[in-house]
Amino acid sequence: MTTAIRRKIALAALIPVIALGCSQSGKSSAGRLRPGDDAPLGSLQRIDDNEEVVLAKVVHSARATVLIFWSMTCPSCREALLECQEVYDEYSNSAAAFFGVNYDIGNMQGVRAFLKGEGVTIPHLWDRGQRITKQYKALDYTFSVFVIDGEGNLVLAQYDHPPDLADILRSTLEKTLRVER
């Protein structure tokens, strides 16, 4: 067997291994947060008034907390945010808390204008220094959403924008809100 044929066989054998280790966006799934993990809980500021929001307090007072990380530069993210808005509208009077966290920290005026123009009423937070965003591994993706139970555990860690996002959120919220603490 020639060296060239051996190389082709070795390369062909590696392709499934490489494919299994990558997410849909081509990023490695290593280091991602997963359901059951403790949720990173720090402080963020509201984009409308800079009031501090301590996630630990929110999480422990709500039965479910939804964090939506997104970027305005991504059309799919804007679409996903609007899907999250639909779910927020359905659950806004429940024991669930929703927050958007936008990556475009240098363009908060543009973010505010987009939210107002699209009728997005999900409260939005600003992550100075992107410390929390990095802890959620959200910067590696243009969109990600997390649902945290009242004990501070992740029950959903969704990276990227699946076609059935609203259904995934509804199902996760129904299960999480139904569980007695």
Which of the residue ranges 1-15, 117-131, 135-149, 155-169 would you say has the lowest mean pLDDT? Answer: 1-15
For the segment 90-147, what is each residue's pLDDT rounded down to a tens digit?
Answer: 998 889 999 999 888 778 889 999 999 999 999 999 888 889 999 999 887 789 999 9
Per the structure block, which two tokens stand in for 118? Answer: 């699209």
CB atoms within 10 A of CB 122: 17
pLDDT tens digit sequence for 42-61: 999 999 898 999 999 999 99
Asked whether the beta carbons of 19 and 136 are under 8 A apart, the reply is no
CATH numbers and ranges of domains, the chain: 1-26 (no CATH), 31-178 (3.40.30.10)
pTM: 0.81
What are the φ/ψ torsions at residue 9 (nearest 5 degrees)?
Answer: -65, -45
State residue 141's pLDDT score: 79
Q: Which residues of 3-35 are buried (b: 16+ CB within 10 A; e: fewer)?
A: eeeeeeeeeeeeeeeeeeeeeeeebeeeebbee
Tens of pLDDT, residues 70-80:
998 889 999 99
